[in-house]
Amino acid sequence: MTRPFPDPATRNPVILPDGTAHAGTVFLKAAIDHPRMEIGDYSYASAHHPPEDWAACLAPYLYPHSPERLRIGRFCQIADGVRFITASANHRRDGFSTFPFAIFDGGFHEGRPSMPGPGPDTVIGHDVWLGSGATVLPGARIGDGVIIGAGAVVGGTIPPYAIVTGNPGAVKRFRFDAEIIESLCAIAWWDWPVEAILAHEAAICGGDVAALHRAAAEVRGHP
């Protein structure tokens, strides 16, 4: 019998056959309390060996005092070993030395010349799948519906519904043609109430864009 879909505030939403919660899968919004991370509902991460601190595991260079943010949309899927290397990991690379002298004598907050300036936010769209061991570089902007292959190292701007593989990560192909991608971004099913999403699961997970358009019209109350 199907159980009720878990609330996004549930820390461990996967229930095993013996009735216990799977410790290695978490809804990130429930598992992370970090002032520089913004995480959408139902985005989850999995780990073979669950960390005590999911924020530090996923984004080890994002500190509470970091100027940048890591923003993750709704319904993202983050596999074991994924790392977000945020801008606070950077060193200066525009001068003769990259060495961060200031961090060793308490000068981190003083604007010392060995420290880089604030870097950009890292932004992950909605319904993004990040494969095992993928690395997302500082300031990356990953579009909705992107698939990032296992072990890929990804930076820059990735357009919606691209498939990215390799190091350096490159767009291998797009999941759908341009017209369908435009439709999917406009429909934005991830913004629907979860009850509507579950009611139209077949349309969302299928390949019939007309059926998804009909579902969207129903959700929005237009025949």
- Let me know whether 182 and 155 are in one domain: no
Residue 213 falls in the annotated catalytic set? no
pLDDT-derived band at 80 (thresholds 50, 70, 90) equals very high
pLDDT digits (tens, 9 = 90+) for 147-173: 999 999 999 999 999 999 999 999 999
- Let me know whether 116 and 196 are in one domain: no
- Let me know whether 120 and 203 are in one domain: no
Residues 6+ apart with CB under 8 A from 78: 28, 43, 44, 45, 46, 58, 130
Q: With a cut of 70, say whether residue 223 has pLDDT above it.
A: no
| Pair of tokens at residue 180 | 């369908």
Q: What is the mean pLDDT of residues 139-151?
A: 98
pLDDT at position 177, please? 96
Residues 6+ apart with CB under 8 A from 95: none
Q: With a cut of 60, say whether residue 1 has pLDDT above it.
A: no
Its domain, for residue 120, covers 1-175
pLDDT digits (tens, 9 = 90+) for 161-208: 999 999 999 999 999 999 999 999 999 999 999 999 999 999 999 999
| Active-site choice (48, 49, 91, 109) | 91
- Let me know whether 59 and 158 are in one domain: yes
pLDDT at position 2, please? 75
pLDDT at position 106, please? 81
pLDDT-derived band at 111 (thresholds 50, 70, 90) equals confident
- Let me know whether 62 and 107 are in one domain: yes
Q: With a cut of 60, say whether residue 120 has pLDDT above it.
A: yes
- Let me know whether 190 and 156 are in one domain: no
pLDDT-derived band at 109 (thresholds 50, 70, 90) equals confident
Q: ω before 17 within 30° of 0 (cis)?
A: no
78-87, 110-119, 164-173, range with the lowest pLDDT: 110-119
3-state helix vs strand vs coil in the chain, percent to 5? 25, 20, 60
- Let me know whether 26 and 88 are in one domain: yes
- Let me know whether 60 and 106 are in one domain: yes
Structural domains counted in the chain: 2
Note the helical H segments in the chain: 28-31, 54-58, 178-187, 194-199, 201-205, 209-219
The answer to whether the pTM exceeds 0.85 is yes
CATH number at residue 72: 2.160.10.10
- Let me know whether 10 and 101 are in one domain: yes
Note the helical H segments in 68-208: 178-187, 194-199, 201-205
* Residue 153 φ then ψ, to 5°: -120, 110
- Let me know whether 1 and 103 are in one domain: yes
Q: How many CA atoms lie within 13 A of 76 on its CB side?
A: 26
pLDDT at position 222, please? 58
